[in-house]
Chains A and B, each alone.
Chain A
Amino acid sequence: MDLTGEYRIAAPREVVWAALNDAEVLKACIPGCTELVKTSDTTMEAKVALKIGPVKAKFSGAVELQDIEAPQSYTIQGEGNGGVAGFAKGSADVLLTEDGEETILAFSSHAKVGGKLAQIGSRLINSTAKKLANKFFDSFHAQFNDEVPPD
């Protein structure tokens, strides 16, 4: 499953880049994230609770930042194990482009699910992923203009 998107954020690129590397910001923005702990400059341990269709699962897994070219782009890669629900893994290439005082964030992501998630949730994966991505970027966007993110 592949997903791409673009968001305009009302903040300079350096500020956006800093936020993208801030575990607290990421934790606040990742839907269902209950824990995100930095284990090094580029790795984190995460716990995320998700519901995909009829499958509800708590994922625990590792997140890694790769191909970092500050303050312009990185690849964020994650892999989570949801017990009997199966597993999810994916990565997103994130690219920040300056546009005056604002920043354009473009991403292209690829995700895979397995086990029960695939067996009974695959039909809903695309729409769920889209929803989750939107939620993440809406929350991320809200970090910069104090807006309450829409539900």
Chain B
Amino acid sequence: MSSGIGASVKRKEDKRFTTGKGKYTDDVRNDNQAYAAFVRSPHAHARVKGIDTSAAMAMDGVIDVLNGQQLTGDGIGNIICGWAITSKDGSPMNMGAWSALATEKVRYVGDAVAVVIAETQALARIAAEAVDVDYEELPVAASVLTSMKDGAPQIHENAPGNQIYDWELGDEAAADAGLASATHITSLDLTNNRLSPNPMEPRSAVAKYDDAEDHYTLYTTSQNPHVARLVLSAFYNVAPEHKLRVIAPDVGGGFGAKIYIYPEEITCLWASMKTNRSVKWTSDRSEAFITDAHGRDHVTSAKMGFDDAGKIVGFKVDTIANIGAYMSLFSSSVPTYLYAPLLSGQYNIQNIHCNVRTYYTNTVPVDAYRGAGRPEATYLVERMMETAAREMGMDPAELRRRNFIQEFPHQTPVLMQYDAGDFPKILEMAQETADVAGFPARRAEAEARGKLRGIGYSTFIEACGLAPSKAAGSLGAGVGLWESAEVRVNPVGSIEILTGSHSHGQGHETTFAQVVADRFGVPIENVQIVHGDTDKVQFGMGTYGSRSGPVGMSAVAKALDKVEAKVRKIAAHALEASEDDIVIEGGEVKVAGTDKSMAWHEVGLAAYIAHNLPEGMEPGLKESAFFDPVNFSFPSGAFICEVEVDPDTGTTEIVQFTSADDFGTIINPMIVEGQVHGGVTQGIGQALLEQVVYDEDGQLLNGSYMDYTMPRAADVPSFHVQHHETPSPNNPLGVKGCGEAGAIGSPPAVINAITDAIGTNDLAMPATPQAVWRAIQAGAKSVAAE
């Protein structure tokens, strides 16, 4: 069987993962290992009046107890947000100071005020309990609706009224004019529920300071070790880049939560210098709930106008987003440039305006979580389309079809230029597989059993492959978003690929090898992927925003081009043929139309022996490349969800879920299907089960798996996943990215199906049995009142 592009090759990395041999950060044990435990605030907002560490310091095995005054005193810089958003009045965003250990104030439950370094983890935790912190409690703003009110508690001095920015995209006058010309206007008020990311492996950091070399090594659960090194060095002043090595070994899931550089990594590095010990911290699940950046948390009010023919003539959106207590690394970009540019969906809309205000609250910082901004946009657009179709008495699929973009490239009024797609085709594929024609009969059959059956659509688009560096820079990004790769062909012909992408479950060791196998016809066993170590890989921007395929693999493809060119020259010279006649296939380098050939490894050997190379050619066979995308890639999909609701209990069962996705070129269909399964499951989690709950005092009320409901196997059906490939013209492989599609597209499909089943549109996520039951009761009441 081929192991090239398009083959469902089994994952190379799974042997170690399924036999317990993965090497994760917590598996690292250095000589002289010490352990950190953080002293965290139980209050959501309080002044720190004093920290008494004497009892902890007196305990046997306690090495040191360190606080924020010491940390800032040593010149460790504040944690920053790396994307500058400018308000519509031209003013810069109001970024409040965030010290890795709080100095004067704590701003959320979990904010760290001190760290205990001890000989064992258990000792560190016991000693942390003995640290006595004197807090003066302050009034709390636990939700964005509280924090934006006049007279709300002031969380950061430099953010008056807690506002971070008031930003807009699109032409407001045009959107107003469009709405004024509409014959039908649909209005919606939606909340995008706050989620906890919950990667399987909790965050961890092991820092080691070498005083002889004045050098630091950090093992950490990162999706982007180079970015971590850059930020730790340039902004947090931990050490200059050449004195800091960051290694992200096997990482068990990220979903965005492991992009950012958190207080714990900074503190461990600094503490390892202070104590001259290797310092390890590993989060437990309770700690993860109150320290890992949360996702979503939007409140939106929107209007969409339609003409007589059902064409969208205007779309106006007003969103309020919760940033949490501090601005995490990419927090500012999620409700702005990762959100509003997606509001055109798959539809040809000429007039769109979106206003976004963000506010601080006394909650865990909020940042990107699988999909990041795009699920929020998709939920709004697709709930809007379904609601409008119902109000206008139209088939929701037909309303979508009338508005689909049919020609590419397509320029939206909200920055994006879509690359390629075939929206009617994927909708048709999904409708056929889901047997939409047979739905009325299934609904009638369900009704006979006392169940309410409903069907819901979501036809969505996402922007992946972050991002053209120049464009990102013009929108405020603090970094370029290219990717790098290096291809090393060894003298024996085996190949190492060094990539700045980082795999934390995606299967890069397999798919990146497939790209190489496809190019040269070598077995994928002979290809090794090296990633996650700043000492090995020159540089890279990491993995998030479904960028490893469109950007990371493209850099590999570019480096392969260079290798291939050199191989042709070497072989043409050795075989006394023209370069143009050289064909590379099946592990051989041949002269077309002759029986002359060299085995792949013979070319590698020739390059390194260098006895017979073309005049002037350097020995060796190693090439590198940087790929900076010219545009985002735009995966699209059509999801159809079918549910049955028990009207007596409000329990929803997802009986059928169909996806038809266009990810462009697919490298490994099995892995892509796995990504869709995982993404859709997380989306179903958001739609039915998950929600972070704070009380009005800023206390997190559901910070454990007893209270925060993660989706389980029994909550999801067996998915029908299919693909249609329209390759992206903007990268060499035509890939678009598939990591987030499921989480982006599925929540509105689920809610559209439930609201179809129960016949009332007023239903918020998560649609728990209680929420659905209440919606049914309220719907019955309003019908009775009419």
Question: In the complex, which residues 44-81 of chain B have their Cβ closer than 8 Å to any Cβ of chain A?
Answer: 44
Report the Cα distance A123→B697, complex, angstroms: 16
A43: min CB distance to chain B, Å? 19
Report the Cα distance A112→B40, complex, angstroms: 18
Is there an interface contact between B706 and A119, defined as CB atoms closer than 8 Å?
Answer: no
Report the Cα distance A113→B44, complex, angstroms: 12
Decide yes or no whether B396 CB sits under 8 A from chain A. no
Question: In the complex, which residues 15-46 of chain A have their Cβ closer than 8 Å to any Cβ of chain B?
Answer: none
Task: Mark the stretch among A5-13, A67-75, A79-87, A98-106 that contacts chain B.
Answer: A79-87
Decide yes or no whether B695 CB sits under 8 A from chain A. yes
Is there an interface contact between A122 and B109, defined as CB atoms closer than 8 Å?
Answer: no
- For B41, the chain A residues whose CB sits under 8 A away are 115
Decide yes or no whether B281 CB sits under 8 A from chain A. no
- For A118, the chain B residues whose CB sits under 8 A away are 109, 695, 699-701
* Residue picked from B39, B699, B703, most chain A C-beta under 10 Å: B699
Decide yes or no whether B43 CB sits under 8 A from chain A. yes
Decide yes or no whether B589 CB sits under 8 A from chain A. no
Given that A119-B286, A119-B699 are contacting pairs, would A84 and B40 also be in contact in the complex, using a CB cutoff of 8 Å? Answer: yes
Is there an interface contact between B697 and A122, defined as CB atoms closer than 8 Å?
Answer: no
Decide yes or no whether A135 CB sits under 8 A from chain B. no
- For A122, the chain B residues whose CB sits under 8 A away are 695, 699, 701-702, 707
- For B286, the chain A residues whose CB sits under 8 A away are 116, 119-120
Decide yes or no whether A114 CB sits under 8 A from chain B. yes
Report the Cα distance A114→B698, complex, angstroms: 9
Question: In the complex, which residues 117-131 of chain A have their Cβ closer than 8 Å to any Cβ of chain B?
Answer: 118-120, 122-123
- Interface of B, secondary structure class, is loop
Is there an interface contact between B290 and A119, defined as CB atoms closer than 8 Å?
Answer: yes
Is there an interface contact between A120 and B703, defined as CB atoms closer than 8 Å?
Answer: yes
Decide yes or no whether B42 CB sits under 8 A from chain A. yes
Question: In the complex, which residues 689-733 of chain B have their Cβ closer than 8 Å to any Cβ of chain A?
Answer: 695, 697, 699-704, 706-707
Decide yes or no whether B360 CB sits under 8 A from chain A. no
- For A112, the chain B residues whose CB sits under 8 A away are 697
Is there an interface contact between B42 and A120, defined as CB atoms closer than 8 Å?
Answer: no
Nearest CB to that of B42 among chain A residues? A115
Is there an interface contact between A83 and B704, defined as CB atoms closer than 8 Å?
Answer: no
Question: In the complex, which residues 41-94 of chain A have their Cβ closer than 8 Å to any Cβ of chain B?
Answer: 54, 83-84, 86-87
Is there an interface contact between A87 and B707, defined as CB atoms closer than 8 Å?
Answer: no
- For A113, the chain B residues whose CB sits under 8 A away are 699
Is there an interface contact between A84 and B128, defined as CB atoms closer than 8 Å?
Answer: yes
Nearest CB to that of A117 among chain B residues? B42
- For A115, the chain B residues whose CB sits under 8 A away are 40-43, 109, 699
Report the Cα distance A81→B510, complex, angstroms: 52
Cβ 8 A contact of B42, one of A54, A86, A123? A86
A117: min CB distance to chain B, Å? 8
- For A87, the chain B residues whose CB sits under 8 A away are 42-43
Is there an interface contact between B707 and A84, defined as CB atoms closer than 8 Å?
Answer: no
Given that A83-B129, A122-B701 are contacting pairs, would A116 and B42 also be in contact in the complex, using a CB cutoff of 8 Å? Answer: yes
- For A86, the chain B residues whose CB sits under 8 A away are 42
- For A123, the chain B residues whose CB sits under 8 A away are 701-702, 706-707
* Residue picked from A84, A112, A119, most chain B C-beta under 10 Å: A119
Decide yes or no whether B771 CB sits under 8 A from chain A. no
Cβ 8 A contact of B700, one of A83, A84, A119? A119
Report the Cα distance A86→B701, complex, angstroms: 13
Question: How many of chain B's residues have a CB under 8 angstroms from any CB in A?
Answer: 24
- For B125, the chain A residues whose CB sits under 8 A away are 84
How many A-B contacts at CB < 8 Å in the complex? 56
Given that A83-B130, A84-B129, A114-B109 are contacting pairs, would A119 and B43 also be in contact in the complex, using a CB cutoff of 8 Å? Answer: no
Report the Cα distance A112→B700, complex, angstroms: 13
Report the Cα distance A138→B290, complex, angstroms: 38
Question: How many of chain A's residues have a CB under 8 angstroms from any CB in B?
Answer: 15
Is there an interface contact between B697 and A119, defined as CB atoms closer than 8 Å?
Answer: no
Given that A119-B286, A119-B290, A122-B701 are contacting pairs, would A114 and B42 also be in contact in the complex, using a CB cutoff of 8 Å? Answer: yes
Is there an interface contact between B695 and A119, defined as CB atoms closer than 8 Å?
Answer: no
Report the Cα distance A116→B43, complex, angstroms: 10
- For B703, the chain A residues whose CB sits under 8 A away are 119-120
A26: min CB distance to chain B, Å? 25
Report the Cα distance A149→B670, complex, angstroms: 65
Is there an interface contact between A120 and B699, defined as CB atoms closer than 8 Å?
Answer: no
Report the Cα distance A118→B140, complex, angstroms: 16
Report the Cα distance A40→B664, complex, angstroms: 77
Is there an interface contact between A119 and B704, defined as CB atoms closer than 8 Å?
Answer: yes
Nearest CB to that of A84 among chain B residues? B129
Report the Cα distance A114→B697, complex, angstroms: 9
Report the Cα distance A83→B40, complex, angstroms: 10
- For B697, the chain A residues whose CB sits under 8 A away are 112, 114
Decide yes or no whether B627 CB sits under 8 A from chain A. no
Is there an interface contact between B704 and A120, defined as CB atoms closer than 8 Å?
Answer: yes
Is there an interface contact between B706 and A120, defined as CB atoms closer than 8 Å?
Answer: yes
Decide yes or no whether B657 CB sits under 8 A from chain A. no
- For B130, the chain A residues whose CB sits under 8 A away are 83
- For B695, the chain A residues whose CB sits under 8 A away are 118, 122
- For B289, the chain A residues whose CB sits under 8 A away are 119
A151: min CB distance to chain B, Å? 26
- For A120, the chain B residues whose CB sits under 8 A away are 286, 703-704, 706-707
Report the Cα distance A54→B704, complex, angstroms: 11
B689: min CB distance to chain A, Å? 16
Report the Cα distance A33→B668, complex, angstroms: 63
Report the Cα distance A7→B408, complex, angstroms: 77
B696: min CB distance to chain A, Å? 10
Residue interface bits B453-493, CB-to-A below 8 A is 1, else 0: 00000000000000000000000000000000000000000
B135: min CB distance to chain A, Å? 9
Nearest CB to that of A118 among chain B residues? B699
Question: In the complex, which residues 269-288 of chain B have their Cβ closer than 8 Å to any Cβ of chain A?
Answer: 286
B45: min CB distance to chain A, Å? 11
- For B707, the chain A residues whose CB sits under 8 A away are 120, 122-123
Given that A119-B286, A119-B289, A122-B699 are contacting pairs, would A114 and B704 also be in contact in the complex, using a CB cutoff of 8 Å? Answer: no
- For A83, the chain B residues whose CB sits under 8 A away are 129-130
Nearest CB to that of B695 among chain A residues? A118
Residue interface bits B438-450, CB-to-A below 8 A is 1, else 0: 0000000000000
A6: min CB distance to chain B, Å? 28
Nearest CB to that of A58 among chain B residues? B129
B390: min CB distance to chain A, Å? 37
A80: min CB distance to chain B, Å? 11
- For B290, the chain A residues whose CB sits under 8 A away are 119
Nearest CB to that of A83 among chain B residues? B129
Question: In the complex, which residues 95-131 of chain B have their Cβ closer than 8 Å to any Cβ of chain A?
Answer: 109, 125, 128-130
Residue interface bits B18-52, CB-to-A below 8 A is 1, else 0: 00000000000000000000011111100000000
Is there an interface contact between B701 and A114, defined as CB atoms closer than 8 Å?
Answer: no
Residue interface bits B600-629, CB-to-A below 8 A is 1, else 0: 000000000000000000000000000000
Report the Cα distance A116→B128, complex, angstroms: 14
Report the Cα distance A84→B699, complex, angstroms: 14
A101: min CB distance to chain B, Å? 44
Report the Cα distance A84→B125, complex, angstroms: 9
B114: min CB distance to chain A, Å? 12
Nearest CB to that of A115 among chain B residues? B42
Nearest CB to that of B43 among chain A residues? A114
- For A54, the chain B residues whose CB sits under 8 A away are 704
Report the Cα distance A76→B311, complex, angstroms: 66
Is there an interface contact between A119 and B129, defined as CB atoms closer than 8 Å?
Answer: no
* Residue picked from A83, A84, A86, A122, most chain B C-beta under 10 Å: A84
- For B706, the chain A residues whose CB sits under 8 A away are 120, 123
- For B704, the chain A residues whose CB sits under 8 A away are 54, 119-120
In the complex, besides A84-B128, A119-B286, A122-B695, 14 extra interface pairs with C-beta distance below 8 angstroms are A54-B704, A84-B40, A113-B699, A114-B42, A115-B41, A115-B42, A115-B699, A116-B286, A118-B699, A119-B700, A120-B703, A120-B707, A122-B699, A122-B707
The 8 listed contacts between A and B (C-beta, < 8 Å) are A54-B704, A114-B43, A115-B43, A115-B699, A116-B286, A118-B701, A119-B109, A119-B289
Return the 9 tightest CB-CB contacts between A and B, nearest first: A115-B42, A119-B703, A118-B699, A83-B129, A86-B42, A120-B704, A122-B701, A114-B42, A84-B129
